[in-house]
Chains A and B, each alone.
Chain A
């Protein structure tokens, strides 16, 4: 196996284009385990962590741009990011994992339980995919095809994650649960973003996304519709929680029963809603 430390985005795109059996490595927290377990190595491993253009969180006209190689720890600590994304990042693994793992890796690894995925979906984030042939912007919601499967092509790199101003201005929350408290992989995770009308206080727009309850993270449109245009009280929130529960199709696996996923999502949803509505500044 050859190790190639890419210095610029251009150089990276050229290599991706010319090498068929190559693989991108960012933090490596997913990839190294996969390589060690399978014993298989690509011919060329392309390290993208030295590409300055891909690192960091910047304010742009359209909102915020997050370089794909920004570490999870940096996300968790950045106060200009919406609450749900920061909390999602903070709930990943351990300090050691967050210091190395990147948001691009979390997205491209496409685990149904990835903890930044539901926040990005509810923030309606766009992903910028680049190759020598050009670039395309695709919404996070459209990016995932199944566990470990995405629309990313072999010669493409995810370079940037974009969150629009509209979605920076509302309030949001994230909650996950696992088997234990520390270093825990989500049995279920849930993110909500909403915007309330300045005058009426009614919910103008709301986006809800759930993870680890289907082959990919999913949006729960039915519950969104139920809450849109309302100023929900406990009863309506509970009804919406029920509809979240009804929309998911979880399975039994090593981490959880389907029944628990169905049951617990009600509590997670209520928690997020009461946090957003009662103490929007608490995050």
Chain B
């Protein structure tokens, strides 16, 4: 694969499913329509904590159009959801309310309006208890236990070298605490599922979701039927960013239960408010950071304590805590590291996966500290990063060594280079403050410490020379269908317009695990590469027979099989396919790609975890209005080593989108609570960036060759979130001379700080 001349990979192919999307024909879950379709609407708690004494549904059942109210006892297979141990979450709250917005019953009616009217007259008697709303309240010695096991969801450690010694022998020690707020995914399409008993003795669920196989397993368990009786079909999904894992599972099960009870299709379509209060958020965090260094800038030790506020249920907290743990020391070669990462329960909306998965929070803390260290040592911040940057052959935080595809220094050098030719407007105009900030980061690719990483993909070539790719990873807008098509096209020499990629249907594709961890292109792409390779073998074998030559004299290109040494000698690929079919050579293959298993010590988190890391360095220049706190981003560079780039345009799109999400996290977006109730559950008061808030991101890729991905690819979906957020914080600090220790750093926060400093 290395140094191979590529036809499809590396080209900005148009999105293979784009036509359906620009014409409005693409069917999202909410677009299904059946004559007897019923709608489910959940009753949700208005308080953060309480004991459920009674749920009176008698009035609701009298509302015209109401056919059913599903209660916890109706979930026959057990009222449990949650995609990971400890499985602490009920589908419907039964005895106890643990967050404001938690649902306790589902009203089913002939229209959304009827179901809502029914929900309004359900009378819930909930005895309030004082909610636990902060990290400190959860950790307090005599704190009420939100779950039987206590208020700590999980606590992990990473220990490398001897931190105590490093701190004792250091020249400088810096110490500080950082905080981040909850962030909402705010995908444009809320969570929607439609469960349909098609009359085949099974239940089918069309879902806007990220990991259909999770949902399938849960529905089967909740219904108490064999998994084989459940089919989950991913509909076009209007964004997910990690957020349609847990919640889609919760409402997928509920809809299935309701559909089975009625023998009719049931749709649950979360309203925007429900999508904010009743579905996962990014973990809020408090990170205590200590850093030890020598006078020359060599960082000798880091001691980090991470507290993640995970809300009412574990959801993906264990994984997020692990990811934060591994990434908190940053992309640097540091011999002595001690990290503790703890996720906690509070009586707030539960938190889960969100683009970046714990890395943006720790990167903000880590990169803020890097700048403070540079300031203390009077070093250039980029020089300090460069000096400590991981290189091929270095031991990273978990003592894993990568001999190649470690392009961090190249990303720093690129930024140094480009920054040299960029000058900030002069500071003379006294209305504004200007500053440029930098941040380096890395992010592990693959499931890593989160479990086995296997993807199954099938490739089938038809007799007309077209090909169908099936894979269990989902398209969420990130363009993975296009990338898989490009890889299959590359291998088979078939043009892209003849390649079709299935939507995920759990009946017809192999369980490929969750679509997470920026792993689609690497682990998924490898499975497609292998399956296509097997089919290619058949085609070469057949073509060799037809040309009466050896297989290695033949290449597949532009829908032809042709002789290597005579490009005019060629046979249309469809003729080869027909011949192969009649000769009995297989035209379909199911292949697996399995990432090397993570092998590490459970107590110290030392060992091999990810199959590769994406490395990046961002630069952001801002202008701050001293009178209003308004910030304008004048320049943003996002330089990443993401291995080989399969589709440059899609790559840029990922960087631009993720960067704006990072900017939102750092500057605009904040979930606000009053007594544990979210008070801004809409897209006006929760300030998602609009087109007038966009930042001028420039994407630069440093291509290295990653041996664990097809054609050398890594992944890019998540990393820019961290880079953009952290470089923003550093730019604002540089401009104002004030170190902001809490995200988001809004206009309001900036102006108040400037005025207080005066």
Taking the complex as a whole, does A directly touch B, i.e. does some CB pair lie under 8 Å apart? yes
| Minimum C-beta distance from A213 to chain B (A) | 15
Tell whether A165 is near chain B: CB-to-CB under 8 Å: no
**Chain B residue contacts of A198, Cβ below 8 A:** none
Tell whether A146 is near chain B: CB-to-CB under 8 Å: no
- Please determine whether B689 and A267 come into contact, CB atoms closer than 8 angstroms: no
- Please determine whether B628 and A182 come into contact, CB atoms closer than 8 angstroms: no
- Please determine whether A260 and B751 come into contact, CB atoms closer than 8 angstroms: yes
- Please determine whether A180 and B748 come into contact, CB atoms closer than 8 angstroms: no
Task: Count contacts on A: residues with CB < 8 A to the other chain.
Answer: 22
Tell whether A179 is near chain B: CB-to-CB under 8 Å: yes
**Chain A residue contacts of B689, Cβ below 8 A:** 180, 182
- Please determine whether A179 and B692 come into contact, CB atoms closer than 8 angstroms: no
Tell whether B693 is near chain A: CB-to-CB under 8 Å: yes
CA distance A201 to B18 in the complex (A): 62
Task: Given A255-B685, A264-B627, A264-B628, decide whether A181 and B690 contact each other with a Cβ distance below 8 A.
Answer: yes
- Please determine whether B747 and A177 come into contact, CB atoms closer than 8 angstroms: yes
Task: Given A179-B668, A179-B747, A260-B748, decide whether A39 and B120 contact each other with a Cβ distance below 8 A.
Answer: yes
- Please determine whether A180 and B668 come into contact, CB atoms closer than 8 angstroms: yes
Task: Given A254-B672, A256-B748, decide whether A180 and B693 contact each other with a Cβ distance below 8 A.
Answer: yes
Tell whether A263 is near chain B: CB-to-CB under 8 Å: yes
Tell whether B383 is near chain A: CB-to-CB under 8 Å: no
Identify which of B625, B626, B685 contacts A254 (C-beta below 8 A): B685
**Chain A residue contacts of B629, Cβ below 8 A:** 260, 263-264
Q: Using CB atoms, name the residue of chain B closest to A94.
A: B690
Task: Given A255-B685, A270-B627, decide whether A182 and B693 contact each other with a Cβ distance below 8 A.
Answer: yes
Chain B stretch 646-696: residues in CB contact (< 8 A) with chain A: 668, 672, 679-680, 684-685, 687, 689-693
**Chain A residue contacts of B685, Cβ below 8 A:** 179, 185, 254-255
CA distance A267 to B627 in the complex (A): 5
**Chain A residue contacts of B614, Cβ below 8 A:** none
Task: Given A180-B668, A254-B679, A255-B685, decide whether A260 and B752 contact each other with a Cβ distance below 8 A.
Answer: yes
Tell whether A257 is near chain B: CB-to-CB under 8 Å: yes
Tell whether A259 is near chain B: CB-to-CB under 8 Å: yes
| Minimum C-beta distance from B87 to chain A (A) | 35
CA distance A268 to B629 in the complex (A): 11
- Please determine whether B116 and A268 come into contact, CB atoms closer than 8 angstroms: no
Write out, one digit per residue, whether chain A residues 168-196 have a CB within 8 A of any chain B CB (1) or not (0). Answer: 00000000010111110101000000000
| Minimum C-beta distance from B672 to chain A (A) | 6
**Chain B residue contacts of A179, Cβ below 8 A:** 668, 685, 687, 746-748
- Please determine whether B692 and A182 come into contact, CB atoms closer than 8 angstroms: yes
Assign chain B's interface to a size class: 20 to 34
Chain B stretch 602-635: residues in CB contact (< 8 A) with chain A: 625-630
Tell whether A266 is near chain B: CB-to-CB under 8 Å: yes
Q: Using CB atoms, name the residue of chain B closest to A257.
A: B748
| Minimum C-beta distance from B7 to chain A (A) | 41
Task: Given A177-B628, A183-B684, A254-B685, decide whether A264 and B751 contact each other with a Cβ distance below 8 A.
Answer: yes
Q: Using CB atoms, name the residue of chain B closest to A261.
A: B748
CA distance A263 to B756 in the complex (A): 10
- Please determine whether A180 and B692 come into contact, CB atoms closer than 8 angstroms: yes
CA distance A245 to B657 in the complex (A): 39
**Chain B residue contacts of A254, Cβ below 8 A:** 672, 679-680, 685
| Minimum C-beta distance from A236 to chain B (A) | 17
CA distance A282 to B361 in the complex (A): 44
Q: Using CB atoms, name the residue of chain B closest to A38.
A: B120
Tell whether B423 is near chain A: CB-to-CB under 8 Å: no
Tell whether B117 is near chain A: CB-to-CB under 8 Å: yes
CA distance A259 to B751 in the complex (A): 10
- Please determine whether B116 and A267 come into contact, CB atoms closer than 8 angstroms: no
CA distance A187 to B628 in the complex (A): 11
CA distance A263 to B751 in the complex (A): 7
Tell whether B23 is near chain A: CB-to-CB under 8 Å: no
- Please determine whether A268 and B748 come into contact, CB atoms closer than 8 angstroms: no
Tell whether B426 is near chain A: CB-to-CB under 8 Å: no
**Chain A residue contacts of B672, Cβ below 8 A:** 254
| Minimum C-beta distance from B673 to chain A (A) | 10
**Chain B residue contacts of A271, Cβ below 8 A:** 627
Tell whether B755 is near chain A: CB-to-CB under 8 Å: yes
CA distance A179 to B629 in the complex (A): 10
CA distance A264 to B749 in the complex (A): 11
- Please determine whether A182 and B690 come into contact, CB atoms closer than 8 angstroms: yes
CA distance A257 to B680 in the complex (A): 14
CA distance A260 to B752 in the complex (A): 6
- Please determine whether A183 and B628 come into contact, CB atoms closer than 8 angstroms: no
CA distance A214 to B691 in the complex (A): 31
Q: Using CB atoms, name the residue of chain A closest to B668.
A: A180
Q: Using CB atoms, name the residue of chain B closest to A37.
A: B273
Task: Given A39-B116, A180-B692, A180-B693, decide whether A263 and B668 contact each other with a Cβ distance below 8 A.
Answer: no
- Please determine whether A266 and B627 come into contact, CB atoms closer than 8 angstroms: yes
**Chain A residue contacts of B625, Cβ below 8 A:** 267
| Minimum C-beta distance from B460 to chain A (A) | 45
| Minimum C-beta distance from A13 to chain B (A) | 32
CA distance A263 to B747 in the complex (A): 11
Task: Given A185-B684, A267-B627, decide whether A259 and B693 contact each other with a Cβ distance below 8 A.
Answer: no
**Chain A residue contacts of B117, Cβ below 8 A:** 39
| Minimum C-beta distance from B312 to chain A (A) | 22
**Chain A residue contacts of B693, Cβ below 8 A:** 180-182
Write out, one digit per residue, whether chain A residues 227-268 have a CB within 8 A of any chain B CB (1) or not (0). Answer: 000000000000000000000000000111101100110111
**Chain B residue contacts of A256, Cβ below 8 A:** 748
**Chain B residue contacts of A255, Cβ below 8 A:** 685
CA distance A260 to B626 in the complex (A): 13
| Minimum C-beta distance from B232 to chain A (A) | 31
- Please determine whether A263 and B755 come into contact, CB atoms closer than 8 angstroms: yes
**Chain B residue contacts of A257, Cβ below 8 A:** 748, 752
CA distance A264 to B625 in the complex (A): 11
- Please determine whether A183 and B747 come into contact, CB atoms closer than 8 angstroms: no
Q: Using CB atoms, name the residue of chain B closest to A268.
A: B628
CA distance A263 to B120 in the complex (A): 42
**Chain B residue contacts of A177, Cβ below 8 A:** 628, 630, 747
**Chain A residue contacts of B626, Cβ below 8 A:** 267
Q: Using CB atoms, name the residue of chain A closest to B667.
A: A180
CA distance A269 to B747 in the complex (A): 17
CA distance A181 to B663 in the complex (A): 14
| Minimum C-beta distance from A139 to chain B (A) | 30
**Chain A residue contacts of B120, Cβ below 8 A:** 39
CA distance A15 to B503 in the complex (A): 56
**Chain B residue contacts of A264, Cβ below 8 A:** 627-629, 747, 751
**Chain B residue contacts of A180, Cβ below 8 A:** 668, 687, 689-690, 692-693
CA distance A163 to B628 in the complex (A): 31
CA distance A67 to B693 in the complex (A): 34
Chain A stretch 206-228: residues in CB contact (< 8 A) with chain B: none
Write out, one digit per residue, whether chain B residues 109-131 have a CB within 8 A of any chain A CB (1) or not (0). Answer: 00000001100100000000000
Write out, one digit per residue, whether chain B residues 190-215 have a CB within 8 A of any chain A CB (1) or not (0). Answer: 00000000000000000000000000
**Chain A residue contacts of B747, Cβ below 8 A:** 177, 179, 260, 264
Chain A stretch 42-59: residues in CB contact (< 8 A) with chain B: none
- Please determine whether A259 and B752 come into contact, CB atoms closer than 8 angstroms: yes
CA distance A177 to B628 in the complex (A): 8
**Chain B residue contacts of A183, Cβ below 8 A:** 684, 690, 692
B binding-site residues for A, Cβ under 8 Å: 116-117, 120, 625-630, 668, 672, 679-680, 684-685, 687, 689-693, 746-748, 751-752, 755
Could you list 15 further interchain pairs (A-B, Cβ under 8 angstroms) beyond the known A179-B687, A260-B748, A263-B629? A39-B116, A39-B117, A177-B628, A177-B747, A179-B668, A179-B685, A179-B746, A180-B689, A181-B690, A183-B692, A185-B685, A259-B752, A260-B752, A264-B629, A264-B747
> Shortest 9 CB-CB distances between A and B: which pairs?
A267-B627, A182-B690, A182-B692, A181-B692, A260-B748, A179-B687, A180-B687, A267-B628, A180-B693
Q: List 25 A-B contacts (CB under 8 A).
A: A39-B116, A39-B117, A177-B628, A179-B668, A179-B747, A179-B748, A180-B689, A180-B692, A180-B693, A182-B691, A182-B693, A183-B692, A254-B679, A254-B680, A256-B748, A260-B747, A260-B748, A260-B751, A260-B752, A263-B629, A263-B751, A264-B627, A267-B625, A267-B628, A270-B627
